[in-house]
Structure 1
Amino acid sequence: MAPSDDTHGERRAWLRLRQADRTALTESGYERTWLPGEILALEGSPPSSMYVILEGWVKITARNYRGEDAPLAARGPAEIVGELSPISQLSRSATITALDKVRTLVVPHDRLLNLLQRHPGIARELLRTTGIRLQQSDRLRLESGGSDLTQRLAAVLLELAVQYYPDWTNVERASLNVTQEDLASYARVSRRTLLRGLDDLKRLSVIATGRHRVTITEPHILRDLAAGNPPPP
């Protein structure tokens, strides 16, 4: 059993694990396929399972104080999600929803806890993954606070691109599965303001947009804009 996309190799949590640890998790779990829009884990629900994404993408959201579902992250092949609740034995802190057809390895929480005692390499990797994601979350919050709309939006798109393409420096074109509503929430702007910012980036030929998708066509220019450098003439 292997994720369908190993382009970014060891930058993904599942592929950083030793083969023996991956085998132990595989033998302790089972495969399940989810259709677009299906919920893998619901915020507030009891701890249940950890998921390894083998194919497809999921969106992770949490309810804010205004009662809105705020996007937190997107995760794809070879990523591990939903691991904190089974370990902490606390209720789910976020909802995990399939963005497209998703195939997962499901590891029930009791089997996961048993594995963590017998395979310390799994525990170390889950701890490392948590640290990486905390850093990503901090960066996203930092970049969404910029005052200039173009710079802010460029920076947010770059931070999201890192989630989709961990080896971002070698990517020449990046396609992000994200809605305008979610992108506005990431950037902390209204949808109207977001559309204005996207139009500016499209005029610079930096991005292209489609239904629930933003494609970064000129990553090097987007990086310059995120750094506050003026656009090319």
Structure 2
Amino acid sequence: MRGSSTAEAEERRMWLRLTPDEQAALTAAGHLKVWQPGQVLALQGSPPSSVFVVLRGWVKVSATNYRGDDAPLAARGPSEIVGELGPISGLARTATMSAIDEVHTLVVTREKFVGVLRARPRITEEILRMAAIRLQQSDRLRLESGGPDFPQRLAAVLLELALQHESGQAGEQVELRFNQGELAGFARVSRSTLIRGLDELRKLGVVRTARQRITITQPLALRELAAGRPPPPPASQT
């Protein structure tokens, strides 16, 4: 994808950036819990009673606005921490977190989490680093969703979502764990408009769709589309 995308993805996986002693401290302070698909880890507006380290599976983060619309915000995967800012601020949850597939987490209560942070301030530094990266990604996603040409705009939105998910090498396929309704929310369009845009991208051979997921099959070609340039032909046609 982008030259720095894999490095940025690794920066966001905070658990991997912690030392063994820091991981052990959080593990000792928490307990393991398994969530089934669709199960809610924490509700928007609820007290920030726990922090979750995702060990396996994917968690969807979404929020409801004042009009009652449910908007997806992100998906968090293995080695990421979710729900960490509420326990630090003491404010109610600003988003709902739910399991996309079977999710295994380390659950640390707010009191124990704050205690670990006080004893090991470097963990706090890593949380700030992760929060800054996520804020930058969110800003880019909002920027990309405002372009005039929809296929180009959709390509840019998919590219930015892929950056959040990426864990492999540049050019590899990326599987996005969102359904079409959620993707329409990211792109700020109706579902019918999204379907037409996806159909165009499918015809170009850059995406493949299935229930609850969209696979970017040609990430480099998608990047060309996002930049407003014709994509190169697939490798099999060269």
Q: Same fold (TM over 0.5)?
A: yes
Residue correspondences, number: 225
* CA distance in structure 2 between the partners assigned to 1:71 and 1:199 by the alignment: 22
Map of 2:84 onto structure 1: 83
**CA offsets per residue over residues 119-163 of structure 1, 9 Å max, x none?**
011100111111111001001000001111111101111111111
1:176-215 equivalence runs, <5 A: 176-215=176-215
* CA distance in structure 2 between the partners assigned to 1:111 and 1:232 by the alignment: 53
**CA offsets per residue over residues 77-113 of structure 1, 9 Å max, x none?**
0000000111100100000000000000001000011
* CA distance in structure 2 between the partners assigned to 1:219 and 1:128 by the alignment: 27
**1:18–1:121 contact (8 Å) kept in structure 2:** no
Map of 1:121 onto structure 2: 122
Offset of 1:65 from its aligned partner?
2.4
Residue identity opposite 1:83 in structure 2: E
* CA distance in structure 2 between the partners assigned to 1:69 and 1:191 by the alignment: 14
Q: Secondary structure of 2:45's partner?
A: coil
Aligned-pair identity in percent equals 59
Residue identity opposite 2:212 in structure 1: H
Please provide the CA RMSD for this pair. 1.3
**1:40–1:96 contact (8 Å) kept in structure 2:** yes
Runs of 4+ in 1 over 3 A off after TM superposition: 8-11
Q: Secondary structure of 2:148's partner?
A: coil
* CA distance in structure 2 between the partners assigned to 1:231 and 1:14 by the alignment: 37
**1:36–1:102 contact (8 Å) kept in structure 2:** yes
Offset of 1:42 from its aligned partner?
0.3
Map of 1:3 onto structure 2: none
Q: Secondary structure of 2:73's partner?
A: strand
Provide structure 2 residue ranges, at least 5 long, that are not aligned to the other structure: 1-8, 234-238
| TM-score under structure 1 length normalisation | 0.93
Change (3 A) 1:11 1:91: closer
* CA distance in structure 2 between the partners assigned to 1:163 and 1:152 by the alignment: 17
Provide structure 1 residue ranges, at least 5 long, that are not aligned to the other structure: 1-7
Residue identity opposite 1:51 in structure 2: F
1:170 aligns with 2:170: yes
Map of 1:227 onto structure 2: 227
1:39 aligns with 2:40: yes
Offset of 1:232 from its aligned partner?
4.2
